[in-house]
Amino acid sequence: MSALEVGLGRPAGRNGSAVTSTLATVLVCDDDASVRALLTRVLHRAGYRGVPVASAREAMDVLETTVVDAVIADHRMRGMTGIELYGLIAQRHPGLGSRFLLMTGDPNDDSVIRFAQGGRIPVLAKPFNLIEIAGILGDLLAT
């Protein structure tokens, strides 16, 4: 089963396992409106509910009022990086610490390399494969 095939309303992970929750809510944090819109559309087609936000501050506000199952965040944003957002989320919402996907257009950035070497959170280089995102999310949500 591919990551975008939805069996019984459940997105599949890269390993083909069905995600246990239907319409899992994914917070999409990117300051580029076109990337937010694209990811939200792709997530919807894969069986997820995407909640788009333009900044890390807005993401933290949403997390205070909305139950979120996973977070996708760009690294380079105005005001706060994706890595800094991850730190805040891991501290304030520990359950989301293991359900975070960092995207970056600069995978050679020293801070991204150090973060990726920690190995706890997947880092996805832009440009990315849209099916790959759905598969990674499926894996994160299946745990």
Lowest mean pLDDT among 30-39, 91-100, 129-138: 129-138
Residue that is written with structure tokens 């890595």 in the block: 83
40-87: per-residue pLDDT in tens? 999 998 889 999 999 999 999 999 999 999 999 999 999 999 999 999
Q: What is the pTM of this model?
A: 0.81
Greater confidence (19 vs 108) lies with 108
Residues 6 or more apart whose CB falls under 8 angstroms from that of 74 comprise 29, 30, 31, 32, 35, 82, 102, 103, 104, 105
Evaluate whether the domain defined by 21-130 bears CATH number 3.40.50.150. no
Rounded Cα distance between 143 and 30, Å, is 25
Structure-block tokens of residue 48: 């997820």
Residues 6 or more apart whose CB falls under 8 angstroms from that of 87 comprise none
Taking only Cα atoms into account, the Rg of the chain, rounded to an integer number of angstroms, comes to 14
Please, which pLDDT band fits residue 117 given cuts at 50, 70 and 90? confident
Question: Per-residue DSSP letters for 62-120?
Answer: HHHHS--SEEEEES--SSS-HHHHHHHHHHH-GGGTTSEEEEES-TT-HHHHHHHHT-S
Query: Would you state the pLDDT for residue 19?
Result: 42
State the average pLDDT for the chain. Answer: 83
Query: Would you state the pLDDT for residue 22?
Result: 60
Domain ranges (residues) in the chain: 21-130
Count of C-beta atoms within a 10 Å radius of residue 55: 16
Percent of the chain with pLDDT strictly greater than 90: 52
